[in-house]
Amino acid sequence: MRSRANLVISEVNDRLALKIPSFKLTRRDVLIDRISFDPEVLKTVEEMTAQEEVTREELMTKVNRYAREIVPAFNALLYFKTAYWLARKLVHSLYRVRLGFADDQALAELNDKTSVVFIMNHRSNMDYIVATYLAAERTALSYAVGEWARIWPLQQLIRLMGGYFVRRNSSNPLYRKVLQTYVQMAANGGVPQAVFPEGRLSRDGKLGEPKLGLLGYITKGFDPSGERDIVFIPVGINYDRVLEDRTLTAALNNNQTKNGKRKSAKLITTFKFFQFGFKNLYQRITGSRYRNGYACVNFGQPVSLKEWQQQNGYNSKTPLNDVSGLAADLLDRIGKIIPILPVALVATVVLKHRSNLSELELKSSVFELFNQLEQNGYRAYIPRGDRDYAVTVGIRMLTLRHLLFEDNGLYSVNPDDVDILSYYANSIVHLVETLPEPHFPTRVS
C-alpha cells in the first residue's frame, strides 16, 4: 500500500498546480508528538498547572487526546483515487457541475515557500465534496470539519482525506492552544487549507459574518519580511438546489425551540431524507428525474498576505493582531464571485413582483436583471450560453418543487414557501442590492 501510495504521489505531483507538501505526508504519530511537546503548548500546560488544581500529567494526557482528535492521517491513494472517484460520481448524479472560472496560471506561479488557503462561502455540506472534486486537479485540500462528522466511518474517511476536526465555540484554553498549534504547523508546512470564514452553513442564504478563529490562527505570528508568504484564494460556490434548504430555514425559524421540538425536527428531517432518496430512485427508474440543477464554483484572484499588509499599513513593527479587517475584505471578495445561477435569478424576480406573471414577463424581467448584473461587472453562469434556456431551467426547478405555481400560463409564488424562495434569492442579494432602482421593469396591467 505504501509503495502504491508513493507512485500516486509521484504521479499527481507532476500535474498538480500545488504539489503535496512533505508536512502532509508526515506520519500522524510524529505530528502528534510535535504538537504535544511544542513550547507554546507546554507553556500553557505549566500556566494551567499553577492556576488550577490539576497535575501536569493529567493535562499532558488531555493534550495528547486533543492532538489525536485533531491531527489527520492523509492517504494519497484514498484521496486521489477512491475519494475523487466517489466525489465525481456523487456530484454528477446530483448536479450539473460547472467550474465558472479559475486562475490556474497564478496558482502554478506560486513558489514552494507559499502557504495557500482557500476561503469559501458555506452553502451546503456538499461544499466539501464539490470543492474536493473540482480542486483535485490543482491540489489536495485540508478542511476544518465540525463535530457533526465525528461518526463512524465518516470520521475515519475524513482523516484519511486530510481533514481535521474542530470543536466549534470551545472555550477550553488548552484545546484552543493545541488546535492553534496544529493549524500554524500546517500553514508553515505549506499544507493547502480550505476555510469557511462564516463558520457554519448559512441559514437564510445570505453571506454570514466572518468568524475569526481559524483565520487568526493561520495569520498569527506571520512575518511580512520573512521568506514564507500566505496566499488566500477566494472561492464562491452556489447551487440551484441546496439539499438541506428546508432544514436550514427551519433551523432559522425555530432557533429558540426546546429540546423536545428539536428531537422531533430531527426525526422529520430523517424521514424527509429517505423520502427524497426514494423519490429520486423512483424518478430515475421511470425516466422522469431531473438533476438538482447546476452547482457552480468560481476560484478568485489570489490575495498575498504580504501585499495586503503593505497596502493596509501593517509591517513587522505593527503586526496584524486583529484579523477582522482581513476577514471582511476576503468575505467581500467571495461575495463578488459567488456564481449567479438560474434559480437565484428567477427567485429574485418572482419575489419582487409576487403577482401573477406570464412566462414572457418573467423572462423579460430576468433578462433585465442579467443585463444590470453584467453592467456592474458581475458574471452570471448561463447554461449553453442561452439566456432563454437558463431562465427555463430556473422556472422548471421551482415549479417541479412547487415553490412556484403555474396556472393558465401565469406563475405565482407558493405562499407556504416564501422562506425557501428567499433563501435562494439571498445567495445573490448582496449583488442585487448594488443595482440602481428600479431593479426590474414595472409590469403593465
Q: Looking at the structure, tell me whether residues 308 and 407 fall in a common domain.
A: no
Q: Looking at the structure, tell me whether residues 141 and 239 fall in a common domain.
A: yes
Residue 279 lies in a domain: no
Give burial (CB, 10 Å; 0-12/13-18/19+) of 156: exposed
CA distance 221 to 96: 42
8 Å CB contact between 356 and 427: no
Q: Looking at the structure, tell me whether residues 216 and 327 fall in a common domain.
A: yes
> What DSSP string describes 406-421?
EETTEEEE-GGGHHHH
More confident residue, 313 or 250: 250
Q: Looking at the structure, tell me whether residues 327 and 429 fall in a common domain.
A: no
Tell me how far apart the terminal alpha carbons of the chain are, to the nearest angstrom: 71
Domain boundary among 337, 368, 397: 337
Q: Looking at the structure, tell me whether residues 221 and 204 fall in a common domain.
A: yes
Give residue 88's domain range. 2-243+295-337
More confident residue, 438 or 121: 121
The yes-or-no verdict on residue 192 having pLDDT over 60 is yes
Q: Percent of the chain at pLDDT above 70? A: 87
Contacts of 288 (CB under 8 A, 6+ apart): none
Q: Percent of the chain at pLDDT above 90? A: 43
How far is C-alpha 231 from the chain's CA centre? 17
Q: Looking at the structure, tell me whether residues 375 and 320 fall in a common domain.
A: no
The yes-or-no verdict on residue 262 having pLDDT over 70 is no
The yes-or-no verdict on residue 445 having pLDDT over 70 is no
**Domain count within the chain:** 2
Mean pLDDT of the chain: 84
Q: Looking at the structure, tell me whether residues 329 and 344 fall in a common domain.
A: no
Domain boundary among 303, 337, 371: 337
Q: Looking at the structure, tell me whether residues 105 and 192 fall in a common domain.
A: yes
Helical segments of 220-304, H only: 245-253, 259-286
Give the pairing of strands 193-195 and 114-120. parallel
CATH code for the domain in which residue 106 is found: 3.40.1130
Residue 257 lies in a domain: no
What is the reported pTM?
Answer: 0.86
What mean pLDDT do residues 28-49 have?
94
Residue 286 lies in a domain: no
Helical segments of 305-436, H only: 305-311, 324-337, 342-353, 359-375, 387-400, 418-425, 429-432
Residue 261 lies in a domain: no
CA distance 404 to 421: 9
CATH code for the domain in which residue 421 is found: 1.10.10.10
Q: Looking at the structure, tell me whether residues 83 and 187 fall in a common domain.
A: yes
